[in-house]
Every structure is written in structure tokens, then in C-alpha cells.
Amino acid sequence: MAGDSLFGVHGAALQVRSQRMGVLASNIANSSTPGFKARDIDFQAALQSLEGGSATGIGAATKYRVPTQTSMDGNTVELNAEQTAFAENAVQYQTTLSFLNGRIGQITRALKGE
């Protein structure tokens, strides 16, 4: 397909990053809900299954987080870890965006024949 070769891996990467942002936001939202189990997306597994064209790609790559320290109310959200992961994911999302922007600029220049 033309769309696949135009943006390479970055189209799928942006989709996984966006999904991961939602999952991490859910963890932060439930930081004080008793019994809530934090989840995260395994980026590499999600990207591989998306590239392989599997329909349940991202869902299967969403795993429960193993807490470093358990809490008495059964909540496994560790706010520091979630905040770090969220910030990291935001930076990676922006990186993917700049890759896409660079590709678009390249194609536009080629089309204009400057």
C-alpha cells in the first residue's frame, strides 16, 4: 500500500503512542481507587503486531503492571512511575510527530521540484 511506504513505521508508532497515553492517563486517574490494577502497553510487541496486520494488536500487548511495592487497598498505581512513563511517552510522541513532519516536508519539496 502507498500509505505504508510513505510514512514507514511512524504511522503505526504514533497510533501505539496515542493508545499508551490513554492507558497511562487511566492509571493516573485511578491513583486513589481501591483495588485498581495499573496497566501498560508493551510498545515493541504492539508495534510488531500492528505491522503484522493483526486486528487485536494493541489489546494483546496491554499488560498489567507488576508493582515494586504493594499497597494495602490493592491499588497497584505507583504515581512516580506513572508520571515518568507519561512524560516519556509524551516526548516520544513528539519525536514521532517530528519524524512525520520531516517526511511530509521531504515529499512536498520533491513535488514542488525546488
Partner 1 sequence: MMSTPMTIFQVAGRAMSAQLVRMNTTASNLANAGNSAGSAEAAYKTMKPVFRTSFDQASGMATVDVERVVTAGEAPTKRYDPANPMADKDGNVFDAAVDESRELVDMMETARGYQNNVEVMQTAKSLIIDTLKLGR
Spell out the alpha helix ranges (H) of the chain: 2-7, 10-29, 43-51, 57-60, 79-112
Position 9 contacts partner 1 (CB under 8 A)? no
Region near partner 1 per CB under 8 A, out of 44-52, 64-72, 98-106: 98-106
Using the minimum distance from each CB to partner 1, give the nearer residue, 8 or 59.
Answer: 59
Among 70, 71, 95, 101, binds partner 1 (CB under 8 A): 101
Contact track, partner 1, 19-58, x by CB under 8 A: x-xxx-xx-xxxxxxxxx---------------------x
